[in-house]
Amino acid sequence: MGHIAEPKGVDFLIKSPPLTDKEREELSEHIKKRKIELKRKSESKRKSKSKEKPKA
């Protein structure tokens, strides 16, 4: 396997400006809400699968 070089004039390094306190707080709240949503989804899937009757 060889080394792949960056094309001329293209820089793949990304430097984002630091987040403000407000942005950091908003992002944190969004992540918390999303984790709760995903947890509820996975729990409801598990419940519906366990309620299914196996076919004999």
Average pLDDT over residues 49-54: 65
In a 13 Å sphere around the CA of 27, the CA atoms on its Cβ side amount to 7
Question: What digits encode the pLDDT tens for the residues 8-32?
Answer: 888 778 888 999 999 999 999 999 9
In angstroms, the CA 42 to CA 37 distance is: 9
Decide which of 45 and 24 is more confident: 24
The DSSP-derived string for 13-53 is ---PPPPPHHHHHHHHHHHHHHHHHHHHHHHHHHHHHHHSP
In angstroms, the CA 21 to CA 17 distance is: 13
